[in-house]
Structure 1
């Protein structure tokens, strides 16, 4: 499979239309059709279901599309970084992280890094720890920041200062606002949103074990901001990190820490198996010099 043909395939998958993709790609429609047909022959089956007005991915096509988008990101990133090494420090720096107010110190360092190396383009990606670890191993990310006490022996890792304080986010008119901290008993009967990652890890199992059967989880979230919007509409509660709700939403919600207290560290990680670009290597050295 040629990279050029994979780009053709992605374009058709995104537009659902051969003519529109041909226009975008500046190739003739017969040429594009032939390239897609040759790709299907090479892979041994149809990638698209041809309908009267659109082209829809088959299950095989959906699988190829998912893998191809990752491949093309990696190709573009590698090209940019190789070209950068020929002249000076430029290219791209891809950093994946969860949400945490404690990342201010790292973002401050990143801001100064960009001032020193203005030709480096930074891409910030938000994701949970499992997704970040996978993307580091695939080479899609250069650096990750993961929260929690995780087994990181497969990665180079550095602990950042400060920890994330878990607490209860609640409507500003909640009677629980009178409390200085939230105990497990306070959650009985409340409609709760929790982070998907913490639920999968059964992170709160020990903390609320005495009332576990009386805890009502009505949903999960990846981004706490979106959970905050739902809280206002549904009048529910969310367990999350302190300091992440801001703007208009912050005036309608309040935070109280959990008791007994729960907190989690932030760790900068990068792959032991992937060769870092010049930009990523330089930034890692700054992180190590600042926080080790």
Structure 2
């Protein structure tokens, strides 16, 4: 399977017709059709369902599309980062992270890096720890930023000074908002939405202990921005990190810390099995200089 063929395949999945894809690729329609037929013969599977106006992907076709996107991104990134072997530092730096105020330190270093090396492009990707781990393994990310104390031995790690604290995001006009801190007992019977990643990793199991079966968890969220909208409109409560949602005087929401306090460390991780690009090495050196 050639890289050129993958690019042809992705063009067809993007434009949904062979004629439009051929026009975008600047090749003839019969030539593109032949390339696709040869690809299906090579793989021994049907990738497309050809209709009168457009084509649709089979299940196998969707899988190939996903993998082809990953492969082409890695190759494009590798090609770009090879430019860092020249005296001019260039290339891309890809970092995956969850939502945390710890990103302020990272972005400050990134800003200084890009100011010194304008040829460098920076890509920040949001995601849960599992997704970040997969993208590190695939080579799509140079670094990942995770919250919590458990770091797999397959990664190198740099612990950052920032610590996130869990608390409750809730409407100001509720009785619970009158409390200075929120205990597990305060949440019994209250409608609660929780970070899906934190739930899957059992982050709160020790905190709410013997009242866990009395909690009314009505949903989960990935992004706190969307969660705050739900809290505002449905008057539920969100278990979230502090300082992620701006709380102004005219805000409808407020934030209360947990008691006992529940804190999470912030750690930068990268693969032990993959050589860092020149750009990534410069970034890591600068970050270490202000954290160690």
TM-score (norm 2): 0.96
In 2, Cα distance between the equivalents of 1:187 and 1:37? Answer: 60
* Equivalence for 1:152: 152
* Equivalence for 1:35: 35
Instruction: Encode CA deviations 1:222-278: one digit per residue, 9 max, x unaligned.
Output: 111111112222221110101111389x82221100111001000011111111111
SS at match of 1:251: coil
Instruction: Encode CA deviations 1:30-78: one digit per residue, 9 max, x unaligned.
Output: 1111111111111111101112222111111111111111111101000
1:1-292 equivalence runs, <5 A: 1-246=1-246, 251-292=251-292
In 2, Cα distance between the equivalents of 1:38 and 1:218? Answer: 50
1:134 Cα deviation from its structure 2 partner:
1.6
In 1, Cα distance between the equivalents of 2:148 and 2:166? Answer: 11
1:88 Cα deviation from its structure 2 partner:
1.6
1:30 to 1:92, Cα distance in 2 relative to 1, 3 A: same
Gaps of 5+ in 2: none
Instruction: Encode CA deviations 1:158-211: one digit per residue, 9 max, x unaligned.
Output: 100120000001112222111111001111111111111111111111211221
Q: Does the CA-based 8 Å contact 2:83-2:89 persist in structure 1?
A: no
1:15 Cα deviation from its structure 2 partner:
2.2
Gaps of 5+ in 1: none
1:151 Cα deviation from its structure 2 partner:
2.9
In 2, Cα distance between the equivalents of 1:173 and 1:26? Answer: 61
Q: Does the CA-based 8 Å contact 2:80-2:92 persist in structure 1?
A: yes
In 1, Cα distance between the equivalents of 2:247 and 2:59? Answer: 42
Instruction: Encode CA deviations 1:87-144: one digit per residue, 9 max, x unaligned.
Output: 4210100011111012212211111111111110000001111111221121110011
1:216 to 1:42, Cα distance in 2 relative to 1, 3 A: same
1:17 to 1:233, Cα distance in 2 relative to 1, 3 A: farther
What number of residue pairs does the alignment pair up? Answer: 292
Q: Does the CA-based 8 Å contact 1:137-1:273 persist in structure 2?
A: no
Query: Cα RMSD (Å) of the superposition?
Result: 1.6
Q: Which runs of 4+ in 1 moved over 6 A?
A: none
